[in-house]
């Protein structure tokens, strides 16, 4: 669990960033891992059993990234759609690898039952730089609306809008890390000319439900599945998780559409955002990936059972 109070090193307190500050921020971002090796190579390997679709591409300077989706090969109009997204925030590693691991290990279990659509790495530029934002210092997970500035979000929304079949479930795979408090929230406050107010990072796994259309039994089915793999984040002394009141054990609620979050882009009956905590000394990267996979399987099983 992390807390922080240091001011961010870019910008003038109280003044939103302009082009100079954004350019300085961008100059500090360096590639630390490979989208091609970690994601595209796995997607290519999956072509033998699934349809693979390039639904867009990103160009940031000399860097070009194809945006890839994995689809059920036996897609049928009389089956509901299950949408799985990962890597909306590129630094949230298990969201990407958990989505791919689900396809490799469990997607075959659902053949003939649902149409699967998986976008495992929505923000590849950020994945390579282990960052929350895209190259324009924009958060894709606040951009899922008509006026959104993130090309990553716009491409995914266009893909989803092309689907005619009803979407039953959307699960978006995320992490909450210690760097949220030490880097990303201070950067956000500086970018927007606001004062950074330190907080604490929840110690464990939790879910984000929709304030406007909650599904408490669905959320708890996922919590029960995941707690077999990793610990569930407790509420703090004020009954909150990451500053929001705990609606139930391991669950908070956000107004998804108001915030432009990824899970707001469909009218699926069942929607949730996972939040794995990879910085705990009680978990390994493998457990983080497994927790994401368990959440996906539990979500599909619940949605098909009711």
Q: What local confidence, expressed as pLDDT, does residue 6 receive?
A: 55
Q: At residue 1, does pLDDT exceed 50?
A: no
Greatest mean pLDDT among 146-155, 194-203, 292-301: 292-301
Q: Which has the closest alpha carbon to 162: 270, 56, 12?
A: 56
Rounded mean pLDDT, 8-36:
97
Tens of pLDDT, residues 186-231: 999 999 999 999 999 999 999 999 999 999 999 999 999 999 999 9
Q: Which of 94, 107, 90 is nearest to 34 (CA)?
A: 90
> Cα angle at 15 between 11 and 20, to 5 degrees?
45
Whole-model pTM: value is: 0.96
Percent of the chain residues past pLDDT 90, beyond the cut: 96
Q: Quick one: pLDDT at residue 306?
A: 87
Q: Please compute the mean of the pLDDT values over residues 242-263 and round it to a whole number.
A: 97
- At 5, is the pLDDT very low, low, confident or very high (cuts 50, 70, 90)? very low
**Residue for token pair 């958060």:** 139
What would the mean pLDDT of 87-92 be, rounded to a whole number?
98
Tokens (6 digits) for 233: 């984040």
Q: How confident is the model at residue 4 (pLDDT cuts 50, 70, 90)?
A: very low
Residues 6+ apart with CB under 8 A from 273: 171, 172, 173, 174, 207, 208, 261, 262, 263
C-alpha dihedral over 89, 62, 118, 33, to 10 degrees? -60
Q: At what angle do helices 216-226 and 285-305 cross, to 10 degrees?
A: 140
Q: For 102-143, write each residue's pLDDT tens digit.
A: 999 999 999 999 999 999 999 999 999 999 999 999 999 999
Written as six digits, the tokens of 206 are 């939790």
CA dihedral 218, 219, 222, 226 (to 10 degrees): -170
Radius of gyration of the chain (CA): 19
- Rounded to 10°, the helix 285-305/93-105 angle is 60
Taking CA atoms, 254 is separated from 197, 209, 268, in Å, by 20, 6, 16
């Amino acid at each position: 669990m992390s807390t922080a109070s240091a001011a961010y090193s870019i910008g003038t307190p109280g003044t939103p960033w302009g082009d100079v500050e954004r350019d300085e921020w961008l100059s500090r971002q360096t590639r630390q891992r490979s989208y091609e090796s970690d994601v595209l190579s796995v997607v290519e390997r999956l072509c033998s059993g699934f349809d693979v679709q390039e639904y867009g591409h990103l160009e940031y300077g000399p860097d070009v990234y194809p945006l890839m989706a994995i689809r059920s090969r036996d897609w049928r109009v009389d089956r509901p759609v299950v949408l799985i997204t990962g890597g909306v925030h590129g630094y949230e590693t298990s969201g990407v690898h958990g989505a791919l691991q689900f396809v490799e290990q469990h997607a075959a279990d659902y053949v003939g039952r649902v149409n699967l659509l998986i976008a495992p790495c929505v923000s590849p530029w950020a994945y390579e730089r282990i960052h929350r934002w895209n190259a324009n210092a924009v958060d894709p997970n606040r951009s899922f609306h008509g006026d959104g500035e993130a090309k990553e979000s716009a491409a995914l929304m266009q893909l989803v809008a092309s689907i005619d079949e009803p979407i039953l479930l959307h699960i978006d795979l995320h992490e909450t890390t210690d760097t949220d408090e030490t880097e990303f929230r201070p950067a956000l406050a500086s970018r927007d000319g606001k004062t950074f107010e330190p907080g604490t990072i929840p110690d464990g796994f939790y879910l984000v439900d929709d304030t406007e259309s909650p599904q408490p039994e669905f959320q708890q089915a996922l919590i029960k599945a995941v707690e077999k793999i990793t610990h569930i984040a407790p509420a703090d002394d004020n009954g909150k998780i990451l500053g929001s009141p705990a609606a139930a054990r391991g669950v908070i609620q956000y107004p998804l559409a108001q915030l432009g979050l990824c899970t707001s882009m469909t009218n699926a009956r069942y929607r949730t955002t996972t939040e794995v905590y990879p910085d705990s000394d009680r978990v390994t990267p493998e457990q983080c990936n497994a927790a994401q996979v368990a959440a996906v399987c539990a979500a599909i099983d619940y949605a098909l059972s009711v």
